[in-house]
Amino acid sequence: MTVTEIILSKPYTARHMAASSRLFEICHECASLVDDFLASTSEKSLRKDTQKQVQQSISIIKTALSQHGPKETALSFNGGKDCLVMLILYLASLYMMYKDTPERIEELGLISSVYVEGHHAFPEVEDFVKECNEKYGLDTVKYESPMKDSFAQYLTYRPHIKAILAGIRRADPYGDTLEFIQETDHGWPKFVRVHPVLEWHYVEVWDFLLTLKIPYCSLYDLGYTSLGKQSNTARNPCLETEETDAKGSPVYLPAYRLNDDDKERLGRLQ
Ligand code: FAD
Ligand code: MG
pLDDT tens, position by position, 91-130:
999 999 999 999 999 999 999 999 999 888 999 999 999 9
Supply the pLDDT for residue 14: 57
Residue 4 has pLDDT above 80, yes or no: no
Q: How far is the CA of 166 from the centre of ligand 2 (A)?
A: 9
Residue 224 CA to ligand 2 center (angstroms) comes to: 12
Average pLDDT, the chain: 93
Return d(Cα 199, Cα 168) in angstroms, integer: 9
Q: What is the pLDDT of residues 31-68, one digit of tens each?
A: 999 999 999 999 889 999 999 999 999 999 999 999 99
Q: What is the average per-residue pLDDT within 233-246? A: 95
pLDDT at 269: 75
pLDDT score at 270: 62
Q: Is 82 in the pocket of ligand 1 (CB under 6 A)?
A: yes
- Which strands, in side-by-side order, build the sheet including 163-166? 6-7, 138-143, 111-116, 73-76, 163-166, 192-194, 181-183
| C-alpha of 63 from chain center | 18
Q: What is residue 166's predicted lDDT score, i.e. its pLDDT?
A: 98
Q: Does residue 162 have a pLDDT over 60?
A: yes
Is residue 12 scored above 90 in pLDDT?
A: no
In this prediction, residue 6 has a pLDDT band, given cuts at 50, 70 and 90, of: low
CB 117 within 8 Å of CB 91: no
pLDDT-above-90 percentage for the chain: 85
105-126 burial, b at 16+ Cβ within 10 Å, e below that, comes to beebbbbbbbbbbbeebbebbb
Question: SS3 helix, strand, coil % of the chain, rounded to 5?
Answer: 50, 15, 35
| pLDDT band per the 50, 70, 90 thresholds, residue 21 | confident
Per-residue pLDDT at 11 exceeds 80: no
Binding site membership of 20 for ligand 1 (Cβ less than 6 Å)? no
C-alpha 199 – ligand 2 centre gap (Å): 11
**Which among 78, 150, 201 is the best mutation to test ligand 1's pocket, defined by most ligand atoms within 8 Å of the CB?**
78
Q: Does ligand 1 lie within 6 Å of residue 80's CB atom?
A: yes
Selection from 129, 134, 123 nearest residue 79 by Cα: 129
> For 185-226, how does the pLDDT look when each residue is reduced to its tens digit (9 = 90+)?
999 999 999 999 999 999 999 999 999 999 999 999 999 999
Residues 6+ apart with CB under 8 A from 186: none
Does position 79 have pLDDT exceeding 60, yes or no? yes
Residue 255 has pLDDT above 90, yes or no: yes
pLDDT band at residue 261, thresholds of 50, 70 and 90?
Answer: confident
Residues in the chain: 270
**pLDDT score recorded for residue 119:** 83
**Cα(167)–Cα(89) distance, rounded to whole angstroms?**
11
User: What is the pLDDT averaged over residues 165-193?
Assistant: 96
Atom of ligand 1 nearest to the CA of 76: 21
Phi/psi of residue 178, each to 5°?
A: -75, 155
Distance set, CA 43 to CA 84, 173, 211 (Å): 25, 33, 13
Cα(63)–Cα(179) distance, rounded to whole angstroms? 13
Q: How many CA atoms does the CB half-sphere of 74 hold within 13 Å?
A: 22
| Integer Cα distance of 241 and 248 in angstroms | 12
Which pLDDT belongs to residue 180?
A: 98
Output the 3-class SS for 139-191.
EEEEECCCHHHHHHHHHHHCCCCCEEEECCCCCCCCHHHCCCEEECCCCCCCC
What are the residues whose beta carbons fall under 8 Å from the beta carbon of 92, sequence distance 6 or more?
27, 30, 31, 33, 34, 58
Q: Whose CA is nearest to atom 37 of ligand 1?
A: 166
CA atoms within 13 A on the CB side of 253: 11
Q: What is the pLDDT of residue 118?
A: 81
